[in-house]
Amino acid sequence: MQLTITGKQIETGEGLRRHVEASLGSILGKYFKTAIEAHVVFSKEAHLSRAEVSIHIGRGIVVNAGAAALETQAAFDAAADRIAKQMRRYKRRLRDHNAKVRDHSEASERARDYVLAPYAEAAEDDGGGAPAVVAEMSTDLPNLTVGEAVMRMDLADAPVLLFRNRSHGELNLVYRRADGNIGWIDPELDPARRTRHRGD
Residue 24's Cα: distance from chain center in Å?
18
With a cut of 60, say whether residue 194 has pLDDT above it.
Answer: no
Looking at the chain, how many residues does it have? 200
The tens digit of pLDDT for each residue in 129-174 reads: 677 888 888 888 889 999 999 999 999 999 999 999 998 889 999 9
pLDDT band at residue 71 using 50, 70 and 90 as cut-offs: very high
Rounded-to-integer distance, Cα 160 and Cα 143, Å: 15
CATH topology of domain 108-199: SHC Adaptor Protein (3.30.505)
How much is the pLDDT for 197?
A: 46
Q: What are phi and psi of 130, to 5 degrees?
A: -80, 135
**Chain center to CA of 148:** 13
Choose among 141, 146, 173, 179: nearest CA to 160: 173
Report pLDDT for 190.
66
Rounded to an integer, the average pLDDT of 49-72 is 90
| Whole-angstrom distance, CA of residue 74 vs CA of residue 80 | 10
Q: Helix and strand tally (H, E) in the chain?
A: 6, 10
Residue 122 confidence (pLDDT) above 50: no
Evaluate if residue 75 carries a pLDDT over 60.
Answer: yes
CATH class of 2-101: alpha beta
d(CA 102, CA 92): 16
Q: Name beta bridge partners: 112.
A: 138
Sequence spans of domains, the chain: 2-101, 108-199
Of 188, 159, 162, 187, nearest in space to 173 by CA: 162
Kindly report whether the global pTM for this prediction surpasses the value 0.85: no
d(CA 101, CA 148): 13
